[in-house]
Amino acid sequence: MTVAQLLTDTTALMHSVARERFKVNPSKCYQRHIRELYAVREGRAKLESLKGAVVEQVSFPEAKQLITKYEWLGNIPDGCTAYYGLKLNGELLGVVCFAIGGSAEARAVFGDAKAVCLSRGACVPHAPRNAATFLISHACKQAQQQFGWDIFFAYSDAEAGELGTIYRAANWACIGKGKGGNSTFVAPDGSQKITSYGFTKRLEKKFYALGWDGKQGKYEFLRSLGWVEQKEPPKTKWAWSPNKRINRAIRNGKLVSAKAAVAGEGL
């Protein structure tokens, strides 16, 4: 077995255990369970301070390695174009990934503003307290300067036990819930689950491993194997802007007035 295969198998095992723990104790979000497992395995004491920490752009491989281990979905979705990392003394302690993707409907909520989704994020178990908030705040400000994005939005997922605590701490505004209704498929024996995130072309290897011919509809194929379809609960949506006028519009619920907010009109 190669080192890469060993690491892949270890990560899969850790996530399997974390899923079982989350089922037993859903009062903790999934990512806390996975962090606690890795904290025991890695044996690193939690760092005491963020003093000297920096946030900077990182490569896709750097982001992928951390997200695969510590993020509940364990993958980076299609559409991600920028990755930022929290580093202390050269060590990567956390990562956030920004994606232009997401539905046109999700982006249209913000009118003509340039909106981007914070689609993935995770920190290592020994990262200092408030590391996630620090990373998100600095990464968004840098991304706005580098890419011109006006509004950042993200989702807290009830399926993962997420309450949006980090976004609240970062001073983001809750702007409601999505429609929900996406499908998750569960294997007949309950051992596997494919959420709506898993139906992208990049993740088709899962379907081929199950015997998919690449032609049949994926929903139809899973149903033919006896997989059970479950509707996903709606996710809670959060938003923030480094532009004070836009942020005021977001907090006042005037999301479609983002263009006016940029121009300084009607506020």
Q: What is the pLDDT of residue 192?
A: 80
Q: What is the pLDDT of residue 261?
A: 45
Query: Could you tell me if 154 and 199 lie in one domain?
Result: no
Q: What is the pLDDT of residue 57?
A: 98
Give residue 221's domain range. Answer: 183-231
What proportion of the chain, given as a percentage, has pLDDT over 70? 85
Query: Could you tell me if 94 and 199 lie in one domain?
Result: no
Query: Could you tell me if 39 and 70 lie in one domain?
Result: yes
Q: What is the pLDDT of residue 265?
A: 42
| Amino acid at site 159 | E
Any bridge partners for residue 142, and if so which? none
Residues contacting residue 105 through CB under 8 Å, at least 6 positions apart: none
Q: Which two tokens stand for residue 52?
A: 């000297």
Q: What is the pLDDT of residue 5?
A: 55
Query: Could you tell me if 13 and 78 lie in one domain?
Result: yes
Query: Could you tell me if 212 and 242 lie in one domain?
Result: no
Instruction: Detail the DSSP E strand segments found in the chain.
Output: 54-57, 80-88, 91-99, 115-123, 151-156, 173-177, 183-186, 193-194, 228-231, 236-240
Query: Could you tell me if 241 and 219 lie in one domain?
Result: no
Query: Could you tell me if 188 and 175 lie in one domain?
Result: no
Q: What is the pLDDT of residue 6?
A: 46
Q: What is the pLDDT of residue 149?
A: 92
Query: Could you tell me if 168 and 238 lie in one domain?
Result: yes
Residues of the chain with pLDDT under 50: 1, 3, 6, 256-267
- 51 with 90: CB under 8 angstroms? no
Q: Smallest Cα–Cα separation from 67: which of 34, 102, 91, 22? A: 34
CATH label of the domain that carries residue 95? 3.40.630.30
Q: What is the pLDDT of residue 257?
A: 47
Query: Could you tell me if 89 and 173 lie in one domain?
Result: yes
Query: Could you tell me if 99 and 201 lie in one domain?
Result: no
Q: Kindly report the pTM of this predicted structure.
A: 0.80
* Counted domains in the chain: 2
Q: What is the pLDDT of residue 107?
A: 57
Query: Could you tell me if 136 and 122 lie in one domain?
Result: yes
The alpha carbon of 147 is separated from its chain's Cα centroid by a whole number of angstroms, namely 20
Q: What is the pLDDT of residue 170?
A: 94
Query: Could you tell me if 75 and 32 lie in one domain?
Result: yes
What's the rounded Cα separation, in Å, for the pair 173 and 196? 25
